Amino acid sequence: MGSITHLGVVFLNYNTDLDQDGTFRWVDKTAVEVVFLLWFTECFSADSHCDEGYLLFGEHCYHFETETVKNWQDAENYCVAQNGHLVSIHNQEAVSFIQVSLWMGAHDSITEGGYHWSDGTPVSHTNWGHGEPNNHNGRENCVEMVTTENGTSWWNDLNCDAHQDWICMIAKGKKPIIPPEPPSPVPGNNGINYYQ
């Protein structure tokens, strides 16, 4: 099995052996090129309403953050600052779309066992692993999705201070907020910024 990075997204689970016609194929035997064509037109077409760095799935745009890990609250704060929230999952199709290990927006920090999504939507679908949620040592109030190399995934409650990858989710058509860059220091001022 191999991986391809295309437009900043890592695609996993294709056979690294070339077929007789010189084509890489996914494990399910579809040609990689066809998947890229379908993926590109579905996720990055002009009418997709997702900004660069976001993927369209259903009615939302998703930003997968796998380069910088954060604790649950810092990841949620980042997503809110981008005009969204940590991902909320409401059906098995969304679970299949995500297929990575990361923070999700579910937590029970208000009432133990009373899980809800950070975007305010009700928890209508769950995918807890065996024996989960277990609130190990009374310190697990946030939820991660755990995904194995074979694609099996489940939810696990975890200490909110753990550092994980995460996914921001924003409504289709909503623009992420890009923070302004700080002004460059004036030459010769020893790094002090002067504002006019």
DSSP state, 136? G
CA dist 31 and 93 (Å) reads: 22
If one counts every other C-beta atom within 10 angstroms of the C-beta of residue 126, the result is 13
Residue 44 confidence (pLDDT) above 70: no
pLDDT in tens, 159-189: 999 999 999 999 887 766 665 555 665 555 5
- pLDDT higher for 39 or 158? 158
pLDDT in tens, 120-139: 888 888 999 999 999 999 99
Most trustworthy range by pLDDT among 21-25, 103-107, 141-145: 141-145
Residue 42 confidence (pLDDT) above 50: no
Query: Global pTM?
Result: 0.63
Q: Which of these CATH numbers, 2.30.110.10, 3.40.50.300, 3.10.100.10, 3.40.640.10, describes 70-171?
A: 3.10.100.10
Amino acid at 181: E
Domain boundary assignment for the chain: 70-171
Structure tokens, 85: 């929230």
- CB-based contact 88:80 (threshold 8 Å): no
CA dist 68 and 93 (Å) reads: 26
